[in-house]
Every structure is written in structure tokens, then in C-alpha cells.
Amino acid sequence: MLSKQFVAEDLLANLDEEQRLAAESLVGPTCILAGAGTGKTRTITHRIAYGIAKGYYAANRVLALTYTNRAAGELRSRLRALGAAGVQVKTFHAAALSQLEFFWPQFAGVPAPQVLESKAKLIGQAATELKLKLDTAALRDMAAEIEWRKYSMLSIEKYEEVVAKRPRIGSLTAEQNVELQKQYEQSKVQSQRLDWEDVLILTLGMLRAEPLALSHVQQQYRFFTVDEYQDISPLQHALLDTWMGDHTDLCVVGDPNQTIYSFTGATSEFLRNFDQRYDDATVLQLTQNYRSTQKIVAAANRVVAQSNSIDSLTAHGEAGDEVKVLQFANLAEEARQVAMVIREQLDAGVKPNEVAVLYRVNGQSEAFEAALSEQQIEYQLRGGERFFNRPEIMRAMTAIRAESNSAAREDKTTFELITDICRSLGWTARQPESAGAERDKWESLTSLIAILDEMPEGSTLSQFAAELDERKRSQHEPVKPAVTLSTIHAAKGLEWSQVFIVGTTEGYMPIAYATTAAEIAEEKRLFYVAVTRAKKKLSISWAKRDTASGRDREPSRFLALLG
């Protein structure tokens, strides 16, 4: 018992006072308001591991929920390093799908329907049947609108009552929008497919209708942790409530200042009203920022100074450089100058994967892609080709699995076995001098080898193979040694030493279709998210014209908040 107590207390040794208080709040409803860069993931993983070590939790009865596979992979890796490998870490969708696939055959007598990889094809077919024309953008917007409706728990009949107030999709009238959604649902039933929102809806309905299934789930999971709670939707919250039943051992962590997904149905209402929902709630704050310099933290505080939703951040970093706000004559000049500065930084020894260029919409990337290419700077677009889908990685994983199952293996270390496999696929210890496909292949295999450095010392080849399979499943991909180009939405949860926020003009930041006070407030929070991605240097820029002879632009109103 003494040994167990020592190990448990040792888990809290490197937490600050705020983090420690949060980690020690082990029972009952707990809400952790965690500002940007305050170590929320560190806090909740240590809290779970501490609760297990103290005997409050059984690892197999803890369910930690996230919204992305990447976040789930990160949580899972950290918990494993803390000795809490038995904890279930899943996205809401993955948890619901596993329950649906387990119970559906028992109650329906047939396997659960398969999930659509994408709505676009079926929406396109439905549009064709209705003789409606939708371009790629309209297909994407319709898919997003269907998601919003379902996450908001609106039937099509209820949706008809609000469709007139929703953003228009392409050239569709409100009536055509509704008819297209009805046709999409019919086509989905006919093809015996589900979309991801259906997975949540059907799991919720099944658990409410089948007491045996509900009892099974509620006995399996007793303690819940929800990351990024400000992003939860009414549908996800209804499912969470059902999983919990009468229990109240729920820990949520979130930042109301980072609520940027209301367009998908997410709402911070549940986070803001947590203490009203639970009379005995413990509400704690994390305000000590360890990510950014004092100058960057000061800028971030000024952006959300009037929100009053969480205390201001306190910086623990160095003072750092002033935040730069730069104006350019046109977009081409802005892109060229940003690329030149990045080139200078890389030449001075800054690693390319420590640099990011952030913008509001995907269409803004083209000019910066061209400028970086002109400077011969490697870059990666967030949302590009999946690492584990690359041919060389798939072949390497196949070989690693085969080798790990081989009884007759030479007396070599795991590192030697992995590098031998990669050499058989053309990898060398020396980086190729030429760019292009050969360099991309080398970087991919080098990143694969580097994953071993993140595993416990002495890991076997079989354990490495299992780690790769788990990372592929959770889309927990290694970081490529390249400058990142990303929308701000896609950059949430990430950080870089040097960040360039570009194209900060009216019409982009805030976006043109944001007109209401609530929409403008969300755009301001999005700007805050962009600012808080930077650790050491932050540059914010805008161009007076799209092109040399294009239309004039005005600087974003949010730049005035920086002082």
C-alpha cells in the first residue's frame, strides 16, 4: 500500500498548483476550464492515471472521449506512458460504432449497416435524381448542413421550420434544400448505408429502447472524461447522458474562448452551464500558459479581453519578440515576403516543421504554395495524403508484421530490424540530395523509424507493429519535416515555434458571411485560436489588394484589438 501511495503521489510531482488541484479532483462532476497552452492534456491524463493509482478508478471502466482520431491517439499514448494503458480512449463516433456493431446483430439479427466514407457521392446521386445541379463547393456545403441538422437533433420536419434562416447552399431554394435532404436519406436507406451522424442517432435510440444493451454499457463504463467539451453537440451530449445514466463521475475540460465549430452543431452551452447542471460540481481553471512568449500571451489576452468567460492567461515563457502586424500592397507581395522570411529562418537553423502559415479558408493557400515553392521550401497541406496510406509505408508495415511473427529471427535489436526492412525498400541513412518523389519516400520511411523513439525503451518488434496498427487506426501520424500550410480550423490543437497568420482582411477575418453578433464573436475566437498556436514568433499580415489590379481590401477589425 505504501508503494502504491508513493507511485500515485509521484504522478503529481511535476504539475503546477492549478493542474495538481484538477488532477486531485477525482470524484463527482468536475469541470476544468483550460486556457490555451495551459497543459490540459497533461492534466487530464495525469488525473486519470492518479485516480487509477489511488484505487478510485478501475482502468477498464474509464472512458475518455475526444472528437478526432488524432486527439484520441495522443491521449492514448500519454496514458500508456503513465502506466494507464487499460483506459479506453475513443472518439464519440468510434465508441458509438463499436456498441452499434456489437448489439445490432443481437437485436436485429443481421450485421449493422456499413458507414459511408463520404456523403458527397450519395448527395450527388440524389441531386441528379431531382435534376438539381451542385458544384463541388455546394456538395460540401450540403454535407455540412446535413451534419448540422443531425448534430442539432432536428428531424427533416423540424428542419423545414428553420431552413429559411440557414445559409443558402449554392443556388438551391429552401424547398430544394429540404427535398434534396429527403432524397439523400431515402438513397441511404436503399443502399443500406449509414452516415457518421446516423451511428450516433441509432446508438442513442438503441440504448434507449433496449434495457439490456443500456445496462451492459453502463456497467462497462463508470468514469467519463470528455476533452474539448466546448465542441460537444446536443446529439453527442444526449448520448453521453445515456452512457452515464444516474452516475455523475464526469470530468470535462474545455475553453469557451476556443469555441469555433458552431457551424457543425457544436455548442459551448454545456461547458458554460456545467455548474448549473450539477449542483455539486467542482469548477477549476488552468490559466498558466507554458506554450507562448509573454508578448504573444498578452496579444491573445487582448483579443478575448471582453469575453469574461475565463480568467486571462499568465505567461511563464520569456518576454519574446513583439507580435508583428505587416501590411502589403497586394497578395503576391504578401506571399513572397512571407516565403522569404521563412527561407531566412530555415537558413538560420529553424526546423521546417516548427513553422506554420495559417489562413481562414483553403482557397487562400495557393499564393503561398507558389511562393514557398519558388524559395524551394518543402511544405505540407493539412489534410493532404495520409501517412499510413503511402505505398512505402504500407509495404514497410506488411514486412514488419511478417518479421514480428517469424520464429527464426536473427539476434538483432528492434531498431536494427526496422532499419533493415526500410533499407530493403530503398531507404538509406543519408538523405537524398534531390527533391521530389525520392525525397518524399525517404522522409516517410525516416518518420516511420522515428516512431520507435516515442515508444518505451526495450519495445519489441511485435509491440512496434501493434503501435503502427494503432496509429493508423487513430490517424496519429508523425510530423513531416516541412512547413505547414493550414486553415485555422485545422490547426486547432497544434502549435509551432513560428506562426504566420496571413490574409487577415475583412471578408476573410471575419469571413464575409459572418454578419450576426454571435457569428462575429466566433470569428474573433477563431482569430484567438490562430494567435495562440505560436510559441516564439508571431507575424500577422494582410494585403491591400488581392492582385496588383484587383479589388481593394480593408484590414481585419480584429487587428485593432492587438493594440
pLDDT of the residue at 471: 75
Which CATH architecture best describes the domain 304-384+481-561?
Answer: 3-Layer(aba) Sandwich (3.40)
Residue 115: strand pairing partners: 194
pLDDT of the residue at 176: 94
Whether 384 has a pLDDT exceeding 60, the answer reads no
Q: CA-to-CA distance for 373 and 63, rounded, in angstroms? A: 45
Minimum mean pLDDT range among 80-84, 87-91, 204-208: 80-84
pLDDT of the residue at 79: 92
pLDDT digits (tens, 9 = 90+) for 466-520: 888 877 766 666 667 889 999 999 899 899 999 999 999 999 999 988 889 999 9
Give the HSE-up count for residue 318: Cα atoms under 13 Å, Cβ half-sphere: 6
Cis-peptide into 510, omega within 30 deg = yes
**Which of the four pLDDT bands, split at 50, 70 and 90, describes residue 1?**
very low
Q: Would you list the domain boundaries of the chain?
A: 8-95+201-286, 117-194, 304-384+481-561, 387-474
Whether 448 has a pLDDT exceeding 80, the answer reads yes
- pLDDT, average across residues 395-401: 89
pLDDT of the residue at 232: 95
Residues in the chain: 563
Q: What is the pTM of this model?
A: 0.81
With helix as H, strand as E and coil as C, how does 44-70 read?
HHHHHHHHHHCCCCCHHHEEEEECCHH
pLDDT of the residue at 390: 79
Residue 488's contacts (CB-CB under 8 Å, 6 or more residues apart) are 260, 358, 359, 360, 501, 526, 527, 529, 530
Q: Could you tell me which of 468, 476, 479, 448 has the C-alpha nearest to residue 73?
A: 476
With helix as H, strand as E and coil as C, how does 360-391 read?
CCHHHHHHHHHHHHHCCCCEEECCCCCHHHCH
**Which of the four pLDDT bands, split at 50, 70 and 90, describes residue 3?**
very low
**Which of the four pLDDT bands, split at 50, 70 and 90, describes residue 383?**
low
Q: Are 478 and 447 in contact (CB under 8 A)?
A: yes
pLDDT of the residue at 4: 44
pLDDT of the residue at 5: 46
What is residue 11's three-state secondary structure?
Answer: coil
Name the more confident of 498 and 408. Answer: 498
Other beta carbons less than 10 A from residue 289's beta carbon = 24
Whether 427 has a pLDDT exceeding 70, the answer reads yes
Which CATH architecture best describes the domain 8-95+201-286?
Answer: 3-Layer(aba) Sandwich (3.40)
C-alpha cell, 72: 484520441
pLDDT digits (tens, 9 = 90+) for 328-376: 999 999 999 999 999 999 999 999 999 999 999 888 888 999 899 899 9
pLDDT of the residue at 361: 87
pLDDT digits (tens, 9 = 90+) for 185-234: 999 999 889 999 999 999 999 999 999 999 999 999 999 999 999 999 99
pLDDT digits (tens, 9 = 90+) for 106-160: 988 888 888 887 898 899 999 999 999 888 878 888 998 999 999 999 999 999 9
Give the HSE-up count for residue 63: Cα atoms under 13 Å, Cβ half-sphere: 19
pLDDT digits (tens, 9 = 90+) for 11-62: 898 899 999 999 999 999 999 999 999 999 999 999 999 999 999 999 999 9
- Mean predicted lDDT score pLDDT of the chain: 89
